Amino acid sequence: MSANATAKLLNAASPFFSVSSLQAMLNLTRESARTTASRLVRRGILVRVQRDLYALTNSRYSLFSLANALYQPSVIALETALNYWGIIVQVPQTVFSIALSSYRCVADNTEFVYRRVPSALFRFGQVKVEGFFIAEAEKALLDTLYMKSKGLAELLPEDIDMGKLDDELLNYYRRLYPDIVKKMLNEIAEREYEAK
């Protein structure tokens, strides 16, 4: 591999490379990209994170940016995002994301779970912070309630700090969710109001 190609890797915006991204970046066939990845691992430039996913050796990256790279497209969401934004205090032991299909894996000694949402619920309410994509707090709450309605999430109303949410944005997003989610959100809001 040329010095120019190595420089491209070292100057890339992301520390992660899939076989497909190596193929596109270095203008290689898929088979050549796999061979190149193996050579780069042997030379100590890349480390294998998972099948067909590599990272620059000694690169510093967060588990959240790794979650985005492991399964695409995906967004940090649900309880993980709620904790990140300070809406709940419990720290999930699993990194939760939403995606267009379900997936689960273990990498870097961490479990990553991707919950499927319909495309209409996937394509909004995302922001990029610190090099990864994450659901806004309001969307993370609605997505978690959506998963709870399907028996795929545990979220106690008393654990939610509604005061940290933007009511206008929450009401704007809630229109897109099924009635069961709106009902659950109303119950949380009523509980919060009664507690004051």
pLDDT, residue 1, reads: 58
The SS3 of residue 196 is coil
> Which bin fits 109, alpha (ψ -120 to 50), beta or left (φ > 0)?
left
Q: Residue 90 is encoded by which pair of tokens?
A: 């419990």
| Whole-number Å distance between alpha carbons of 55 and 87 | 32
The SS3 of residue 176 is coil
Among 93, 115, 190, smallest CA distance to 182 is for 190
Run of H or E residues at 126: strand 126-129
Q: Residue 116 is encoded by which pair of tokens?
A: 């499927």
Q: Is the pLDDT of residue 102 over 80?
A: yes
The SS3 of residue 105 is strand
| Whole-number Å distance between alpha carbons of 17 and 30 | 13
One-letter amino acid of 77 = A
Q: Is the pLDDT of residue 193 over 80?
A: no
Domains of the chain: 3-56 (1.10.10), 63-195 (no CATH)
pLDDT tens column, 1-58: 567 778 888 888 889 999 999 999 999 999 999 999 999 999 999 999 998 999 999 8
